[in-house]
Structure 1
Amino acid sequence: MDKFAVSTGLIGLTIGLIALLVFIYLISRLAKRKAGAGRAVNLLLNSAVLAVLSAAFIFLSLFVQTLNRYLHDQRIGTISARQEGQGLRMEFTDLKTEQRFNFELNGDQWMVEGYIVRWNPLLRWLGAGAYYKIDRFSGRYESDTCSLVPGRQVIDSSHRGLWKSLLKYGQRTKLIDAAYGIAAFQYPSQEAYGLYINDSGFIIKKE
């Protein structure tokens, strides 16, 4: 979870606990008839103010955590894609495995493909990161009449049986909201691209 969200949440809970203790103290004084009307009203107001402050901090914590999860894009790689004649010279660095891949594709565009598991809303809100796999890169042609084979480069061929099961049956579990294949494509460029992932899929950004 976001540190600021955790901090504000803990502050809110602490203030709420103090408010509860003040209220319990007030009830005990009233039960023993040791609190005058003025004293009782003062304690009640203090308890109410603390309760409002507690609620404000807790709601702020919830808002910050929700916003943080909504805006969070996890960087997972760096891509270089340059046009050379009718081909594409590709370089991909996987930040998770620290592996570097150099390969060539054909096409006007390049595409990255993979899989993603989207956790249920509670787990995502608590900060569960995307469970994903980058499967392959492939070339793309804008024209349907091109006779050249676009080609592809497999990045990770492991655990395909697991991902097949997740795509077919993963949504039956309460922990998984959805599991599906993902892809994103772009044109080659002299600039490098950053590859990111969020709860929906791949994001490609120029450096």
Structure 2
Amino acid sequence: MEYPVQIGLPQILLFILFVGGLVLLISSLMGLAGGRRVVEYVDEEGIRRYKRRRRHMRPGRGIGGVLLLLLAVGILWITSLTQSYLGLTGEIQVGRVHATTIEGIPHLMSLELTQYDQHGNTTADKTYLVKGDQWMLEGNMLKFPGWLNLFGLHSGYKLTRLEGRYEDVNLEAKGERSVYELNGGDGQFFKTVYKQAWSSPFVEAAYGTAVFLPADGMTYNIYASQAGLEAKPAK
């Protein structure tokens, strides 16, 4: 499962701002709750003595901490709205498909599938014989809540299966099938999260997605976004 992480200067500055406000607020509260402090002084006879004085809260530090926290929360909220939108519309190329029919053999194609990681590096490049008139690439998606987008974490994706489809419904029901597992298939992790996604604070949704097209000899780039898989003709 790939988890695209995008951490830049805005996330770092927001984190520093949040921590700074939190430190100021905690420091002020500790000063108030610290009770009494020991003060050294010299009495009229020149003898060094000690006495306890009640600590006083520093209003400026407390107010400064609260203001910084409110500022950080406000900026985080605005950034959440912005990055959630970018997360929904952003795309990451995860593969490339080139499929051609085999002359003289109906309902059979030769398909080359190239897979990429989130950085655009090739992780696999393999050719398959696929029965059918169309190819279908399937995958799993994990959608994270908006507050995790603040830290640069967007949807998790994984290509899991390649198979063929027939245009004729009767062949689709009774014809020979070609199914290839990719990257270990669904895996236990996705199966567990899929069942618990509705109750998890860290996963907003877990679902399967697929894209299919005819074996027309064209090359298609496969992209993943929070909306699922999408195929676009390669330029």
- Give TM-score, length-normalised by structure 2: 0.59
**Displacement after TM superposition at 1:189 (Å):** 2.4
What amino acid is the match of 2:181? V
- Unpaired runs of at least 5, structure 2: 1-5, 18-70
Please tell me the root mean square deviation across aligned C-alpha atoms, in Å: 2.9
Q: How many residues align?
A: 162
1:64-102 deviation per Cα after TM superposition (whole angstroms, max 9, x unaligned): 545432321111111111122421111111112621121
Post-superposition shift, 1:2? 8.0
Distance 2:99 2:207 in 1: 26
| Paired position in structure 2 for 1:80 | 98
- Runs of 5+ unmatched residues, structure 1: 14-53
Partners in 2 of 1:113 and 1:195 — Cα distance?
A: 11
Larger radius of gyration: 2
Q: Is this contact kept in 1: 2:140–2:209, CA < 8 A?
A: yes
Q: Which has the higher helix share?
A: 1
**1:190 matches 2:211:** no
Distance (whole Å) between structure 2 residues aligned to residue 195 and residue 3 of structure 1: 26
Give the drift of 1:134: 0.9
Give runs of aligned pairs for residues 1-207 of structure 1, distance below 5 A. Answer: 6=10, 65-85=83-103, 86=106, 87-96=108-117, 98-124=123-149, 126-146=151-171, 147-157=174-184, 160-207=187-234
Identity of aligned residues (%): 23
| Distance (whole Å) between structure 2 residues aligned to residue 176 and residue 190 of structure 1 | 38
* 1:156-192 Cα deviation digits (max 9, x unpaired): 2266122211111133210100111111111122221
1:80 counterpart letter in structure 2: H
Residue identity in the other structure for 1:95 = Y
The runs of at least 4 consecutive aligned structure 1 residues that moved more than 6 Å come to 58-63
Q: Residue 124 and residue 88 in structure 1: after superposition, are their counterparts in 2 closer, same or farther (change >3 A)?
A: farther
Q: Identify which range, 100-109 or 120-129, moves more after superposition.
A: 120-129
Larger deviation, residues 79-88 vs 130-139 = 79-88
